[in-house]
């Protein structure tokens, strides 16, 4: 037999209700924040991610699923959702519609990483992207949407950490200061940090190696290098969060893994899932739309990893609603009563009630046993006796109450009961 590829996961029939719950919760958050769904292809031209996510990032440098299609084009399975969302925004002229353009997506994403708990090669993200507003209210609204999503899932204990990484102009000064600090210490730092030193020293703060973290701890803080505009923006974001009672800590080491961020960056982090503690990450990316060929458009968004959220929910014992059970099992005994049961089940389904009838030629006794396994709320039986009078005996499996009614009244009867 052929196995599932490494780093991917099946969703089994007994588990899919959990996925549906998380997706329904995401859509409900999107609804109250008036975000509209977008869907972009699973693969895009490789160039989009190279330019959009950034050549210097781990994602583009090491993790992309890139291949040539039969027409000789280089295409890549999306490693994240933002670049595609920006392409959609630019290509479809959404910049000429009223601003802000508020979007969300639920998408698979692909990264060639070393699989471990909370780190897969195919994973899923719920993300939102809001285009066209520079205001701090927008950053705060996006953070609130993330917080509300986590809260609804019972994960309000997740920590919010925020930072500002400034704009291009404050970043230039800061990069200079970082290089000055790191240069004499480079010998003690990892290979990756040494390459980042010249390409993008900011990313050195994101290194997970213990020795690099120790060195980074003493590095100058970006917050001391923000220009007045970026500082004002960050103060306003913090004030808005405070005013609404959303607790956060400022962590000047958060820089995020992707190149496109400017100003506000944030993460929701948990200690309950080991090293991969970030369940949701996001920030502002004011230069990306322009970089991908659109008019200058400020934007801000986040993405939450669904598998990581599920891992966290399992680890802290967060509850899912109960798996929905079938409402009624309709049983028959011989050919005519089975046919009547079959059509009764179909009529219920047409009216929106979930129903099952025998597909396995089981005896009546075996049907009862099976209905019990399914957790059916009602079992309705049509015996020869009942059939001759167009009747059916309905039993409430919980209370044990049993009633004989007209088959035609079954829908109305159940509707009244449930």
Dist CA 72 CA 31 (whole Å) = 41
By CB under 6 A, name the one of 52, 132, 281, 301 that touches ligand ATP. Answer: 281
Q: Between residues 199 and 276, which has the closer beta carbon with respect to ligand ATP?
A: 276
Q: Between residues 283 and 294, which has the closer beta carbon with respect to ligand ATP?
A: 283
Segment (H or E) for 151: helix 136-152
Give 340's contacts (C-beta < 8 A, 6+ positions apart).
332, 382, 387, 407
Q: Between residues 156 and 384, which has the closer beta carbon with respect to ligand ATP?
A: 156
Smallest gap, in angstroms, from Cβ of residue 304 to ligand ATP?
6
* C-alpha dihedral (362, 367, 369, 374), degrees to nearest 10: 110
Residues 227-256 that bind ligand ATP (CB under 6 A): 256
By CB under 6 A, name the one of 107, 163, 278, 337 that touches ligand ATP. Answer: 278
If binding is defined by CB under 6 A, does position 308 make contact with ligand ATP?
yes
Smallest gap, in angstroms, from Cβ of residue 43 to ligand ATP?
18
> CA nearest 121: which of 155, 77, 175?
77
Smallest gap, in angstroms, from Cβ of residue 228 to ligand ATP?
29
Q: Between residues 103 and 337, which has the closer beta carbon with respect to ligand ATP?
A: 103
If binding is defined by CB under 6 A, does position 279 make contact with ligand ATP?
yes
DSSP 202-225: GGGGG---HHHHHHHHTSPPGGGS
Q: Which stretch binds ligand ATP (CB under 6 A): 32-40, 91-99, 245-253, 274-282?
A: 274-282
Smallest gap, in angstroms, from Cβ of residue 306 to ligand ATP?
8
By CB under 6 A, name the one of 44, 161, 286, 307 that touches ligand ATP. Answer: 307
Smallest gap, in angstroms, from Cβ of residue 302 to ligand ATP?
8
At residue 374, the 3 state secondary structure works out as: helix
If binding is defined by CB under 6 A, does position 301 make contact with ligand ATP?
no
If binding is defined by CB under 6 A, does position 414 make contact with ligand ATP?
no
Dist CA 125 CA 105 (whole Å) = 8
In sequence order, the β-bridge partners of residue 284 are 262, 300
Dist CA 160 CA 82 (whole Å) = 21
Q: Are strands 249-250 and 262-269 parallel, antiparallel or unpaired?
A: unpaired
Dist CA 127 CA 124 (whole Å) = 10
If binding is defined by CB under 6 A, does position 303 make contact with ligand ATP?
yes
**CA Rg value for the chain:** 28
Binding mask 66-105 for ligand ATP (x = CB under 6 A): --------------x-------------------------
Contact (Cβ atoms closer than 8 angstroms) between residue 329 and residue 376: yes
Smallest gap, in angstroms, from Cβ of residue 175 to ligand ATP?
20
For residue 116, the 8-state DSSP code is B
If binding is defined by CB under 6 A, does position 120 make contact with ligand ATP?
yes
Smallest gap, in angstroms, from Cβ of residue 368 to ligand ATP?
44
Smallest gap, in angstroms, from Cβ of residue 206 to ligand ATP?
8
| Burial state string for 360-396 with b = 16 or more CB within 10 A and e = fewer than 16 | eeeebeebbebbeeeebbbbbbbbeebbeeebbbbbe
By CB under 6 A, name the one of 54, 294, 305, 332 that touches ligand ATP. Answer: 305
> CA nearest 110: which of 65, 149, 147?
65
Q: Between residues 144 and 329, which has the closer beta carbon with respect to ligand ATP?
A: 144
Q: Between residues 150 and 219, which has the closer beta carbon with respect to ligand ATP?
A: 150
Dist CA 106 CA 83 (whole Å) = 14
Phi/psi class of residue 116: alpha, beta or left (left: φ > 0; alpha: ψ in -120 to 50)? beta
Give 265's Cβ-side CA count (13 Å radius). 23
Smallest gap, in angstroms, from Cβ of residue 330 to ligand ATP?
43
Q: Between residues 102 and 111, which has the closer beta carbon with respect to ligand ATP?
A: 111
Give how many residues touch ligand ATP by CB under 6 A: 21
By CB under 6 A, name the one of 25, 40, 76, 125 that touches ligand ATP. Answer: 125
C-beta nearest to ligand ATP: residue: 305
- Judged by the rule CB under 6 A, the positions of this chain that interact with ligand ATP are 80, 111, 113, 118-120, 123, 125, 256-258, 276, 278-281, 303-305, 307-308
């Amino acid at each position: 037999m052929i196995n599932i590829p490494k780093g991917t996961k099946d969703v089994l029939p007994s588990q899919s209700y959990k996925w549906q719950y998380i997706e329904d919760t995401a859509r409900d958050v999107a609804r109250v924040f008036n975000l509209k769904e977008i869907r972009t292809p699973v693969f895009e031209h490789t160039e989009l991610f190279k330019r959009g996510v950034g050549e210097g990032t781990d994602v583009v440098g090491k993790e992309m699923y890139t291949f040539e299609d039969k027409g000789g084009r280089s295409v890549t399975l999306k490693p994240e959702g933002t670049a595609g969302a920006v392409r959609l925004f630019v290509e479809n002229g959404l910049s000429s519609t009223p601003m802000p353009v508020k979007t969300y997506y639920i998408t698979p994403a692909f990264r060639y990483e070393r699989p471990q708990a909370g780190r897969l090669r195919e994973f899923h993200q719920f993300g939102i992207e809001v285009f066209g507003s520079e205001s701090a209210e927008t950053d705060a609204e996006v953070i609130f949407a993330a917080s509300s999503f986590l809260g609804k899932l019972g994960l309000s204990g997740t920590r919010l950490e925020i930072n500002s990484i400034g704009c291009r102009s404050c970043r230039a000064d800061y990069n200079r200061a970082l290089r000055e600090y790191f240069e004499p210490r480079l010998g003690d730092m990892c290979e990756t940090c040494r390459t980042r030193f010249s390409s993008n020293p900011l990313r050195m703060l994101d290194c997970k190696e213990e020795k690099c973290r120790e060195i980074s701890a003493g590095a100058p803080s970006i917050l001391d290098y923000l220009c007045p505009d970026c500082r004002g923006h960050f103060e306003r974001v913090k004030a808005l969060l405070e005013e609404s009672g959303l607790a956060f800590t400022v962590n000047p080491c958060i820089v995020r893994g992707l190149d496109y961020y400017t100003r506000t960056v944030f993460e929701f982090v948990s200690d309950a899932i080991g090293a991969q503690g970030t369940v949701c990450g996001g920030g502002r990316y004011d230069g990306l739309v322009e970089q991908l060929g659109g008019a200058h458009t400020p934007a801000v968004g986040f993405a939450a990893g669904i598998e990581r959220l599920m891992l966290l929910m399992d680890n802290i014992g967060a509850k899912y609603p109960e798996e929905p059970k079938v409402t009624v099992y309709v049983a028959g005994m011989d050919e005519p009563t089975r046919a009547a049961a079959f059509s009764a089940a179909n009529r219920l389904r047409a009216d929106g009630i979930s129903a099952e009838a025998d597909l396995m030629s089981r005896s009546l006794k075996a049907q009862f046993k099976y209905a019990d396994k399914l957790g059916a709320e009602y079992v309705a039986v049509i015996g020869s006796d009942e059939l001759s009078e167009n009747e059916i005996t309905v039993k409430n499996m919980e209370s044990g109450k049993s009633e004989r009614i007209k088959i035609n009244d079954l829908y109305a009867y159940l509707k009244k009961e449930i």
